[in-house]
Structure 1
Amino acid sequence: MRAGDVRREAARSALVRQLDLARRGRSILHPFIGRSQRFEAWRHYPVNDAMDDTGRWQFYYHAHDDSREGGARHPQEHGHIHLFRRDPQGQLSHLAGLSLDARGTPLTWFATNQWVTGERWMAARQLAQGLSDLQLRLRGPLAGVALWLADMVRVYAAPLHDMLLARDEGLVRHCAHQQVSRKAAWDDRQIAVWSSFPIDWPQDAVELQGQISSQHN
């Protein structure tokens, strides 16, 4: 399947999942926090994170408050999903964060500094491999969310790749300009995000579907 077709099919699939939840009065946030009696900032949802069936991917949802470093990534952000690559030893490398508003609408993709998640830093070219083919499958209440998140990654695979390259380039520039080591930059609490890009969802998906109609006219 061509890259454009992959994006369009992923966008269609993601929209269908969100619309199905909306018909039931729910959003993409509901599988994460819908059954919690009280939503708590900084807590992971689910508590022990979600891991796909292959053991190669891990994710969770959480929100920040104003009492610690690393505030909201977008003015309308309710919280965000952190998605990690997971190696056989269980070490995590942060692929990307996805900000969501209170209705579960995606707002912004972002790449964090190392201290934010305590990740094992992986170079962008390695970290971004295979994004257009990413699959997330797991059992239980987050199974649909996993499929939706994989769809979102496939829709934005190219800009995610560019965002991660910008992350690494930003790190190199910072180290050269400030004359500090990579470790010092990774530990700098004044830098929570190295790079990001906003998205216009669901309009991006609608425009992708519109391209199909244009090609058939």
Structure 2
Amino acid sequence: MLTAGLEVLRIQQSLAARRSNLVAELLHGEDEFFERRHYPAGDVYDPETGAQYYYHAHRSDPREHGHFHIFQRPHVLSERFEPMRHAKPGIGRCAGEPQVGAHWPRGEAALAHIVGVAMDNYGLPIRLFTVNRWVTDETWYAARDVITMLDHFEIRSRRTVPEVNGWIAGLLRLFQPEIVELVRRRDAAVEARARANPHGDALEDRSLEVTAALDISVERRVRQLRRSLAA
């Protein structure tokens, strides 16, 4: 974790020395920045590892410029993961009612959202968060499966911005315990909403968007790790 944190800091400091930052590098060459548009176009996707991410913005917090959404496509992994079979709690499904999850991406198109990373106006990370299924139109996998996928996330392709790829991989290692807890809290939040509204579909509930969040500081985390190792 400390090795990953030092690499994250090195990348941030190297970009700052060039009067740049992670977001600026990712948006390099773009004439305008439009909210809700994915950057880069078509996302960053490594077909060999199934890792994927994109950056976009829809401002709800004045501290936030935008955020990364980080995914794993499980079809390339050696483990076999089955999507959660989330039926509506309570009474059985009525005749003619669409099966819950029938419209989710399947096969090679299936993807699992691991975590979001909010960035401030200086291009630095300020928050980790998880979201409900409808937000990213993902295929819903149980927390234990998403946590396993986290261990496999890797971007090998250098066709995009290698510094951003390395930074994201390092950030996931640096904050891995926190991400694991956020994913578990995600499931707990959805289950609580399902109990509160037994005739609804919690995964499509537009009033439940962010399921868990945690403010972060790379510098503070690295200091904590150094103190722990010294002790």
Structure 1 residue ranges without an equivalent (≥5): 1-6, 66-71
Task: Give the structure 2 partner of residue 197 of structure 1.
Answer: 214
Task: Give the structure 1 partner of residue 64 of structure 2.
Answer: 77
**Greater mean deviation of Cα atoms: 200-209 or 37-46:** 200-209
**Counterparts of 1:92 and 1:133 in 2: how far apart (Å)?**
14
**Counterparts of 1:10 and 1:130 in 2: how far apart (Å)?**
18
Q: 1:91 aligns with which of 100, 110, 129?
A: 110
Distance 1:116 1:14, change over 3 A: same
* TM-score between both structures, scaled by the size of structure 1: 0.85
Amino acid across the alignment from 2:174? V
Structure 2 residue ranges without an equivalent (≥5): 76-107
Larger radius of gyration: 2
Corresponding position: 1:208 with 2:225: yes
Partner of 1:29: helix, strand, or coil? helix
RMSD over equivalenced CA pairs, Å? 1.7
Q: Cα deviations across residues 81-134 of structure 1 (Å, max 9, x unaligned)? A: 000111331321111100000111101111111111100011110101153564
Q: Cα deviations across residues 19-44 of structure 1 (Å, max 9, x unaligned)? A: 11111110011221122111111110
Amino acid across the alignment from 2:53? F
**Counterparts of 1:38 and 1:92 in 2: how far apart (Å)?**
29
Q: Cα deviations across residues 35-54 of structure 1 (Å, max 9, x unaligned)? A: 21111111100010001252
Amino acid across the alignment from 2:162? A
1:174 CA drift (Å): 1.2
Percent of pairs identical after alignment?
A: 29
**Counterparts of 1:166 and 1:9 in 2: how far apart (Å)?**
27
**Counterparts of 1:202 and 1:105 in 2: how far apart (Å)?**
11
Task: Give the structure 1 partner of residue 37 of structure 2.
Answer: 43
**Counterparts of 2:64 and 2:142 in 1: how far apart (Å)?**
28
Number of residue pairs aligned between Structure 1 and Structure 2: 199
* TM-score between both structures, scaled by the size of structure 2: 0.80
Corresponding position: 1:156 with 2:175: yes
Corresponding position: 1:27 with 2:21: yes
**Counterparts of 2:184 and 2:228 in 1: how far apart (Å)?**
28
Displaced runs of 4 or more, over 6 A: none
**Counterparts of 2:47 and 2:7 in 1: how far apart (Å)?**
20
